[in-house]
């Protein structure tokens, strides 16, 4: 079999592979980006599944339009308008198979072989893989505690002729947990506009805020042009249903609909109707409030445990929301080697190197805190901290 | 927004656009490839949805592995082994978001810009769009009543240096309704092997046979190498759930898993578990037998109505299964012009021209017979036949 050239760029996601190991019940896992399954609204989901099939069974199991179920698009538009002060209608929305597919469709829409994509350093691993699928070249923009560093972005835009896209996760970033300041968002948007570069603003974690203050995404700014926003039900409801969306200008959505037609025709009709029924019968905001309460407590437990068990010169982020804490261990510790040893002690995490598009930092790691309860966070972080101390003492 | 070059190749699927019109309840539609919604096992699906959520709710709503739910892959492997005499294990299977996604993933795996894909003339419209997405060039191989014409395939393979892939639907083809003979499958496979060209054998309709005799697909032949098979639950269960599969060598599946990771992570966990529960609690074969009984009667009604209402010099296929009849009307009738007029009379079909990769034949049309009952087939075909007579008399 003669594979396409793009296959040379693709490597297995360490995280997806780790997911298999972490299915073992004896493993304490901080590896995946898994929401807490015990908080899924299972009974409510059973109720709405029954209602949808009883009342609209034929429709729910039949083909439907590529754009997505109209009441779902309308509901998302209205919710976004309220939350982030936009003026969206259903015409601005395409339903996708999770926000991962949103990235794939946008990649198809924009990226020619050799086009440059700029992203945060570090950034979401599976976005890197999407861009590589389309034979794009991904370059890193340096970041500080407020987001992408403006001067580094400008330098790259000056030096690089064929930048097509800026890919960013400004709120509770994966993997770093960082959130951009409002001022920084304004500055970065202004630079992107000046160089006529499109922005993909990925926002799957935005509603999971435990502290600090919400600020509008770039997509909502009056100066916003060529900003594509992606969202997801994975973190606010459940990821197994694989449903997300793209919000963008009508013209962009129309092009993306063409692409989705040939990619997989449409999303699962039944799932789309399940979610509409869910938000009609239940209070999604109240559900998210319960998630926030639980995750806040886990974040706090994780931060305390880092202070307690890790070496003093460990650097770590203190996320205001989302699912992840990012650690930089004292050099020359290598977290890939560390992972092997921690798995022997039944604790999993993700080493940081695969989140870098260009220059991996081998002493970094990502710790997820949403999936394990406070007790397991305490136990698992203690094991990790002890292991780090042992390695440093060698 | 600066779009990628591939966007120049993409045009809206006339059929997906027609689907919107045909949602009107007063339309008699032979346009889509819609299964009969009144035959969906709605109550059974409600029962299994409840069971899955009650017994495995947390698992069903959580992330799972990219390959697909293991019991589903195992079940498909065993069923295929029985039906088509293969020796598959779950390692040979990847679960996809319908067989449309199977084509997209295979396109990503194989097609470089400029690669040539050979397909039947006419062929499945949305496969053409997939191959164009990857900037492949699609060339037509002529067909007769037994399948692809061997000499025409050989001519093209001799003349064309960079043929990557042969895309075929040997059983109850979309749009023609034709089925290849066993002998022809052997010949075509031999030629493909000689030129070292991969084959995608698309088989979504294979189980819907109303007459004639089943013969093994090329995928099952001992000489089979580099044959990728795609299958789907859309036509044997329901399309709204968007679930299909790819069967291939383990090495090919492993590469496809990498691609699927970056495309959309995985298929809907809940849906995969629904289907496993469905086949455990219900007799899928008995369900398919009911579909066959209903569709056979509709096919027969459609063939009678063509004989009764269409001009004598209309050529049409007499499909042994599947969902479609293909018509060639007397020249110079143009079915795109005809469609506009038939929609005025509330009857929809698909004009044939968009099913051709290179040389459209404007006097052709595809008629679906699975979605409308015998009464509507009689009424709708009568209207179409009268319209054709009127146009010819002009």
List CB contacts (< 8 A) between B198 and chain A: 1-2
In sequence order, which residues have a C-beta less than 8 Å from that of residue A206 and are 6 or more positions away? A171, A172, A217, A231, A321
Rounded-to-integer distance, Cα B300 and Cα B354, Å = 26
List CB contacts (< 8 A) between B287 and chain A: none
**CATH number attached to the domain at B44-281:** 3.40.640.10
Give A379→chain B minimum CA distance, Å: 23
Give B309→chain A minimum CA distance, Å: 30
- The answer to whether B1 contacts A269, with C-beta atoms less than 8 Å apart, is no
Nearest CB among B64, B113, B129 relative to A240 is that of B64
Can you tell me the mean pLDDT for B189-199?
A: 97
- The answer to whether B265 contacts A100, with C-beta atoms less than 8 Å apart, is yes
Closest Cα to residue A160, out of A197, A107, A111?
A197
Rounded-to-integer distance, Cα A21 and Cα B338, Å = 59
**pLDDT per residue over B131-161, tens digit each?**
999 999 999 999 999 999 999 999 999 999 9
Closest Cα to residue B103, out of B88, B124, B86?
B124
Nearest CB among A65, A101, A249 relative to B263 is that of A101
Neighbour-count burial for A55-72, b at 16+ CB within 10 Å, e otherwise:
ebbebbbbbbbbbbbebb
Q: Is A366 helix (H, G, I), strand (E, B) or coil?
A: strand
The stretches in chain A having pLDDT less than 70 are 13, 15-16
Give φ, ψ of B309 to 5 degrees.
-110, -20
pLDDT higher for B167 or A9?
Answer: B167
Q: What is the pLDDT of residue A382?
A: 98
- The four Cα atoms B99, B102, B103, B105 give a dihedral, to 10 degrees, of 160
| Other residues' Cβ atoms within 10 Å of the Cβ of residue A294 | 18
Q: What is the pLDDT of residue A390?
A: 96
- The answer to whether A49 contacts B46, with C-beta atoms less than 8 Å apart, is yes
Rounded-to-integer distance, Cα A269 and Cα A328, Å = 44
- CATH topology identical between B5-41+286-393 and B44-281: no
Closest Cα in chain A to B42: A57
Contact B2/A at CB under 8 A = yes
- Give how far Cα B121 sits from Cα of A291, B144, B178, B360, Å: 55, 10, 11, 9
List CB contacts (< 8 A) between A32 and chain B: 63
The answer to whether residue B19 scores a pLDDT higher than 80 is no
List CB contacts (< 8 A) between B19 and chain A: 63-65
Of all residues in chain B, the percent with pLDDT exceeding 90 is: 94
The CATH T-level fold of domain A5-41+286-393 is: 3.90.1150
Which 3-state string (H, E, C) describes chain B?
Answer: CCCCHHHHHCCCCHHHHHHHHCCCCCCEECCCCCCCHHHCCHHHHHHHHHHHHHHHHHHHCCCCCCCCCHHHHHHHHHHHHHHHCCCCCHHHEEEECHHHHHHHHHHHHHCCCCCEEEEECCCCHHHHHHHHHCCCEEEEECEECCEECHHHHHHHHHHCCCEEEEEECCCCCCCCCCCCCHHHHHHHHHHHHHCCCEEEEECCCCCCECCCCCCCCHHHCCCCCCEEEEEECCCCCCHHHCCEEEECCHHHHHHHHHHHHHHHCCCCHHHHHHHHHHHHHCCHHHHHHHHHHHHHHHHHHHHHHHHHHCCCCCEECCCCECCEEEEECCCCCCHHHHHHHHHHCCEECEEHHHHCCCCCCCCEEEEECCCCCHHHHHHHHHHHHHHHHHHHHC
Give φ, ψ of B76 to 5 degrees.
-60, -45
Q: Is A315 helix (H, G, I), strand (E, B) or coil?
A: strand
Residue labelled with tokens 């898994």 = A34
- Asked if the bond preceding A175 is cis, omega within 30° of 0, the reply is yes
Q: What is the pLDDT of residue A56?
A: 98
All structural domains of chain B with their residue ranges = 5-41+286-393, 44-281
List CB contacts (< 8 A) between A100 and chain B: 262-265
Rounded-to-integer distance, Cα A349 and Cα A235, Å = 19
Closest Cα in chain A to B67: A16
CB proximity under 8 Å: B 91-150 to A? 96-98, 100-101, 104, 108-113, 115, 126, 129-130, 132-134
Which of the four pLDDT bands, split at 50, 70 and 90, describes residue B41?
very high
List CB contacts (< 8 A) between B291 and chain A: none
CB proximity under 8 Å: A 314-373 to B? none
CATH number assigned to the domain with residue range A59-281, chosen from the 4 options 3.40.50.620, 3.40.190.10, 3.30.450.20, 3.40.640.10 = 3.40.640.10
Q: What is the pLDDT of residue B16?
A: 65
Nearest CB among A7, A16, A240 relative to B109 is that of A7
Rounded-to-integer distance, Cα B82 and Cα B76, Å = 10
User: Running DSSP on this structure, what letter comes out for residue A212?
Assistant: S
Give A62→chain B minimum CA distance, Å: 4
Q: What is the pLDDT of residue B25?
A: 82
List CB contacts (< 8 A) between A55 and chain B: none
Judge contact between B365 and B352, C-beta under 8 A.
yes
Rounded-to-integer distance, Cα A152 and Cα A155, Å = 5
Give B367→chain A minimum CA distance, Å: 17
User: Running DSSP on this structure, what letter comes out for residue A209?
Assistant: B
Provide the number of CB pairs (under 8 Å) joining chain A to chain B.
Answer: 248
Rounded-to-integer distance, Cα B133 and Cα B95, Å = 22
Q: What is the pLDDT of residue A16?
A: 64
- The answer to whether B16 contacts A265, with C-beta atoms less than 8 Å apart, is yes
Closest Cα to residue A355, out of A6, A3, A15?
A15
Query: Which ipTM value was assigned to this complex?
Result: 0.97
Can you tell me the mean pLDDT for B105-129?
A: 96
Q: Is A227 helix (H, G, I), strand (E, B) or coil?
A: strand
Residue labelled with tokens 């023609």 = B176
Give A120→chain B minimum CA distance, Å: 18
């Amino acid at each position: 079999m003669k594979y396409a050239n793009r296959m040379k760029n693709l490597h297995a996601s360490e995280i997806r592979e780790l997911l298999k190991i972490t299915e073992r019940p004896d493993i304490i896992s901080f590896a995946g980006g898994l929401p807490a399954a015990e908080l899924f609204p299972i009974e409510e989901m059973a109720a709405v599944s029954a209602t949808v099939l009883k009342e609209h069974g034929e429709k729910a199991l039949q083909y439907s339009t590529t754009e997505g179920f109209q009441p779902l698009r309308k509901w998302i538009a209205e919710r976004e308008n309220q939350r982030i002060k936009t003026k969206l209608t259903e015409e601005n929305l395409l339903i996708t198979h999770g926000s991962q597919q949103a990235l794939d469709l946008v990649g198809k829409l924009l990226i020619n072989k050799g086009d440059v994509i700029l992203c945060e350093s570090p950034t979401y691993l599976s976005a890197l893989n999407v861009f590589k699928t389309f034979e794009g070249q991904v370059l890193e923009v340096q970041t500080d505690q407020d987001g992408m560093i403006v001067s580094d972005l400008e330098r790259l835009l000056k030096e690089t002729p064929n930048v097509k896209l800026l890919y960013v996760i400004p709120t509770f970033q994966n993997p770093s947990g960082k959130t951009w300041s409002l001022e920084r968002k304004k500055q970065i948007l202004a630079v992107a506009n000046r160089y006529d570069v499109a922005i993909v603003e990925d926002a799957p974690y935005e509603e999971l805020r435990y502290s600090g203050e919400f600020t509008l995404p770039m997509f909502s700014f009056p100066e916003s042009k060529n900003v594509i926003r992606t969202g997801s039900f994975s973190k606010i409801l459940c990821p197994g249903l694989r449903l997300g969306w793209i919000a963008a200008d009508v013209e962009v959505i129309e092009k993306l609909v063409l692409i989705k037609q040939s990619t997989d025709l449409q999303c699962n009709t039944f799932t789309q109707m399940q979610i509409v029924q869910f938000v009609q019968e239940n209070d999604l905001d109240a559900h998210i409030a319960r998630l926030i309460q639980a995750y806040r407590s886990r974040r706090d437990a994780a931060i305390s445990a880092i202070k307690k068990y890790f070496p003093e010169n460990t650097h770590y982020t203190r996320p205001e929301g989302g699912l992840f804490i990012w650690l930089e261990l004292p050099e020359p510790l290598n977290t890939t080697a560390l992972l092997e040893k921690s798995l022997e002690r039944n604790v999993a995490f993700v080493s940081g190197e695969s989140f870098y598009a260009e220059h991996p930092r081998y002493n970094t790691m990502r710790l997820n805190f949403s999936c394990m309860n406070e007790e397991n966070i305490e136990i698992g972080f203690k094991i990790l901290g002890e292991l780090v101390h042992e390695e440093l003492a060698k």
